[in-house]
Amino acid sequence: MGMTISQKILAAHAGKKEVAPGELVTARVDVALGNDITAPIAIDKFYEAGAKKVFDPSRVVLVPDHFTPNKDILSAMQVKKVREFAKEQGLVHWYEGGRCGVEHVLLPEKGIVVSGDLVIGADSHTCTYGALGAFATGVGSTDLAAAMATGEVWLKVPETLRLVFSGELPEWVEGKDLILHAIGEIGVDGALYMAMEFCGDAVDSLSMAGRFTMANMAIEAGGKAGMFAPDEKTREYEAGRALREPVYLESDPDAEYARTVEYDVSKLEPVVAFPHLPENVRPVSRAGDVVIDQAVIGSCTNGRIEDLRTAAKVLSGRSVHPNVRCIVLPATPAVYRQALAEGLLETFVDAGAVVGPPTCGPCLGGHMGILAEGERAVATTNRNFVGRMGHPQSEVYLANPAVAAASAVAGRIVSPRDL
């Protein structure tokens, strides 16, 4: 019996010829990642375990992106602890201030994660890197501490759910819509502890940005990882940026899957996930009259340059509704610089939007976009749980950048076609 791409990566990193779903393995990690929320706990556990030095200063990556720039004394103390640890350990990949970006956009951009890697991160959206054909998954801070000390992690080999997307993408339909549609079909527990393997000609047509978006939200279906087989687009993306030699793998033709789900995307329209779960998905044409107070364009899900171009295309020559706060957050300094060079930031400012620094702030209700009681936001982020963006009596609606931008103009949730 053949192996899936996930099994191949785990087998290689566990020093085995093959592994099977359900098998427990101890595997070496290529990258261990923490941020300003999870790393302080991991640092405490690292020292409590008696560790002195990280296993490899070039493989432990710390990115304080959730409360950066620091919003208060507590967040400043969190980042201070991480900063001091990074300096003490001589970490190669420590990013702060004008070098800091949203971690799951920053690491691929910097070439820190490459195809064939095994990556663990104390952040649930670490699964983003599966877009490169890396097995990447979120872990707790204690597991991160152990990995920082030993360079290893133990995992149960997951089953794989194969999702096949066929057909030509209609106008304004993006990777965000494909993954939300799938989550709406299978539910937030539809891929529980499974690797979600995305394939089909519709997936092949996606840019790397669209693939990162889909892999990012595998966790919203309970997935352990979101996987794409590397292709020529992957190779082009990694060329000139990969810090290590990528390993390009694909699933064997006779690989065994838990099940296969097929979708015809040709009749899809942009979708919206209603509160308070990512599975509460409706076509935007059936959103009804949902008046909004805020629109957020950014995050590790949709803060790349392609996402900003889409939003700017919708906002160009238009104005944000006077009752809406539109917040645009380029995900990294490089994305910010590119958006500046292309005139996108000018478009946003002319439309009446607020352009902020690279940060995860609003996505988790941290800062720079907190919702008050009774307020509603449409966001290109990944979660819409109760209180996710602020007050427990607020609401978050998930959508792609085009829908978020169009809704900012209309003052209610609409499709770009409605403008």
Tens of pLDDT, residues 220-236: 999 999 999 999 999 99
Q: Architecture of 5-262 per CATH?
A: 2-Layer Sandwich (3.30)
Residue-level pLDDT at 183: 97
Q: Which of 156, 162, 398 is nearest to 270 (CA)?
A: 398
pLDDT at 315: 98
pTM for the whole structure: 0.95
Q: Mean pLDDT, the chain, as a whole number? A: 96
Helix (H, G, I), strand (E, B) or coil at 390: strand
Question: What pLDDT band is residue 241 in, cutting at 50, 70 and 90?
Answer: very high
Sequence-distant (6+) residues with CB within 8 A of 285 are 269, 415
pLDDT of residue 1: 78
Per residue in 15-39, pLDDT (tens digit) is 999 999 999 999 999 999 999 999 9
pLDDT-based confidence at residue 147 (cuts at 50, 70, 90): very high
CATH number of the 271-418 domain = 3.30.499.10
Q: How is 83-143 classified by DSSP, letter by letter?
A: HHHHHHHT-SEE--GGG---HHHHHHHHT-S-TT-EEEESSGGGGGGGGGT-EEEE--HHH
Q: What is the pLDDT of residues 3-13, one digit of tens each?
A: 999 999 999 99
pLDDT, one tens digit per residue, over 174-194 is 999 999 999 999 999 999 999
If you count them, how many residues does the chain have? 419
> Is a pLDDT exceeding 90 seen at residue 69?
no
**What does the pLDDT average to over 127-146?**
97
365 — pLDDT class (breaks 50, 70, 90): confident
Residues of the chain with CATH 3.30.499.10: 5-262, 271-418
Tell me the H-state helices in 151-284: 175-186, 201-204, 208-216, 232-238
